Structure 1
């Protein structure tokens, strides 16, 4: 579990200092190190693959809480993330479902930060303190009624087995608006080996499907949203919210802006990818040096072919406005993602790109990139498609995020070599991955494949004009 905890901590967008202790033995166990950490942090979280009942984790919690000085130093109740008291199923789906995972560990950490020991003790007191000796009901201290709390639960494609990353949805068993229970089969997915049912892990109402039948899905991809229900005390809710506001001040969000995150609501993302030969672009870049007009970047060349494909495929030259797809035949803006210091992402906008000739387009791309790197923000309300690349970091492939008003984002990976299947002397070819994420509300898979094919052909046949 140590690697899982370290990955969870690394993925947290926070400046918190978290101590991760790896017990190398359990008899004896390093009580002194854990006790010192608890006194320092005031919190304790045990992550284990053992059963929750009669486990090492419970022994550690009981032992430490039995010491008055340690108990008084706790700021929140200790927590344990473990396997439930169930058998581990032979099927990988059931195996990974019962073992600790990053979402559960992250939720436990956030719960430790959002609650206090005082709050928990007060809730327990309200639940059990009933004055049985008093005849007057007004003198009885009864637990306050619990209220139903509704939350959204996103169910994703689970791990389907070693080496299996893609499956196809063969049937949808529940419809939007249906009531579902934990362990209800929601849909069935087919891999090369078998058909797997994907089950719900919560009770609630199915709110929205994010996929359709016959759609190809990847491990970790969102399938549906469930409005799940749970109970909580009014006092508990108030206390947790107050403490959450305190812990939230420790976070320093980066990456997508709040506006962009808000715009992502309602998108139905889908992704396809292709391998594209890169020699033509590479050779054209070398020839641009010889012409003495300045070296043309391979990104600019690829962007030119993307623009030509956009003009051929109307939906990829359109943008979203007020929930509708708008196509402006006279003006098509193209976006290029730019990484700024501090892990900030900005979009360089090439205005009216469809009206430009090659020389003008090349200069417009360079100027747009310079302005974005200087922090000059351009209007993105007509950007139909954005191009992303992390070639500087030698990233071969990634799944980009599409942010409205754009209908798609194209990721161009770092070049690498593969054996040339058309060669008789075992030579290699230089290729890149083209990964296209598009909004399935406006674009179908076939249309996206046709667009990406034209981009690939254009890049493979590129020549300086």
Structure 2
């Protein structure tokens, strides 16, 4: 029995990195060759990846949500016998060689584990994560004795890095994992989405009256914020506009859902951005909606990024930051993102600017305008909408 690293395979031309979304097997599980062991997100789809070996998973070298380059080690497995060294080659069909091309010499088998240069025990890897060291950086840290990396080696590395930083002109810091995930989604979206933008003002006075009514009501079931009333109005608008609770599958299929899965952009300290998720948001009554939204936002502020492939509509709100306008960036697979800014007076009446960025592959200008107008109308009639939502 010996140990071998499982690496991230190349599944398509031009693919440079992937995001690990889910582990299908756990350390200690025995798997067969070609059995699915984890799921990764590429720029085209979520893919379940097969094991290149039969054996037992010793440990995962990454976490769910990590961004890994092609060829990076993702797991260690205990296997039997001799295998060919793993390589990040594409599994796509290969072109047949031309008759004049010489046949490639057969690749010699190598002993399992021969490519391992550094042993990283689980406690060392856990310690590295506490210190904010990525897997890629961890493998560059020298071991003081032999080829086994210990927590003491990490301390020595960090101390040396601090001394270097004191005299350097600049300091490089690894991006937080959540920001790397956001960058990955933005890059993927830029390759897929054809964005279009619409903007209009909307009255905000009814929203404020709803908030005040709940504040002044003894034993009110919830105490919504202005943003939460806005989010409810947006979710309800999707009931009459089904494309905003849909997704584009490939280039020729529209997948429509009965209710919208609503994503909320949530700011965290250090300018980090995560997503809260309210599933089936348009099916909830007002009280249930507010309670669910408040709970999901609390989890997001604690660091739980809830973004997944089910989100159809994103909301972003800049009330409180003195920003009255913006062009929100759409992140696939959502089909639209709706921005609301700081309220401003128009002839003594508070208004906000609503800005909608939508995927023009699925939604055209008139459809976007009608949805934006529906949201504005819901905001203007927020008291009636919330009252009907309280009734059932």
* Residue 289, structure 1, aligned to residue 209, structure 2: no
* Runs of 4+ deviating beyond 6 Å: none
**Cα gap change, 1:329/1:407 in structure 2, threshold over 3 Å: closer, same or farther?**
closer
* Residue 404, structure 1, aligned to residue 332, structure 2: yes
For 1:325 and 1:347, the matched residues in 2 are separated by 26
Alpha-carbon offset, residue 331 of structure 1: 4.5
**Cα gap change, 1:248/1:403 in structure 2, threshold over 3 Å: closer, same or farther?**
farther
SS at structure 2 position matched to 1:436: strand
> Is the 1:333–1:383 Cα contact (8 Å) retained in structure 2?
yes
- Deviation string 1:46-71 (CA, Å, 9 cap, x unpaired) is xxxxxxxxxxxxxxxxxxxxxxxxxx
For 1:328 and 1:360, the matched residues in 2 are separated by 24
Instruction: Could you tell me which runs of 5 or more consecutive residues in structure 2 were left unpaired when the two chains were aligned.
Output: 1-168, 388-392
For 2:339 and 2:201, the matched residues in 1 are separated by 12
Structure 1 residue aligned with 2:356: 436
> Is the 1:411–1:436 Cα contact (8 Å) retained in structure 2?
yes
- Deviation string 1:244-284 (CA, Å, 9 cap, x unpaired) is xxx99836557572321232122111111110011100111
TM-score by length of 1: 0.43
TM-score by length of 2: 0.51
Structure 2 residue aligned with 1:51: none
Structure of larger gyration radius = 1
**Which structure 2 residues correspond to residues 24-423 of structure 1 after superposition, within 5 A?**
250=172, 253=175, 257-264=182-189, 265-292=191-218, 293=220, 294-322=222-250, 326-419=254-347
**Cα gap change, 1:248/1:431 in structure 2, threshold over 3 Å: closer, same or farther?**
same
Instruction: Could you tell me which runs of 5 or more consecutive residues in structure 1 were left unpaired when the two chains were aligned.
Output: 1-246, 420-427
For 1:285 and 1:279, the matched residues in 2 are separated by 10
Alpha-carbon offset, residue 362 of structure 1: 1.1
SS at structure 2 position matched to 1:451: helix
Alpha-carbon offset, residue 450 of structure 1: 0.3
RMSD over equivalenced CA pairs, Å: 2.2
**Cα gap change, 1:440/1:248 in structure 2, threshold over 3 Å: closer, same or farther?**
farther
- Deviation string 1:389-442 (CA, Å, 9 cap, x unpaired) is 1212111111000101100000001101122xxxxxxxx211000000011111
> Is the 1:314–1:327 Cα contact (8 Å) retained in structure 2?
no
> Is the 1:270–1:440 Cα contact (8 Å) retained in structure 2?
yes
- Deviation string 1:13-66 (CA, Å, 9 cap, x unpaired) is xxxxxxxxxxxxxxxxxxxxxxxxxxxxxxxxxxxxxxxxxxxxxxxxxxxxxx
Q: How many residues align?
A: 211
Alpha-carbon offset, residue 355 of structure 1: 2.3
Greater RCO structure (CA 8 Å; 6+ sep): 2
SS at structure 1 position matched to 2:382: coil
For 1:355 and 1:288, the matched residues in 2 are separated by 22
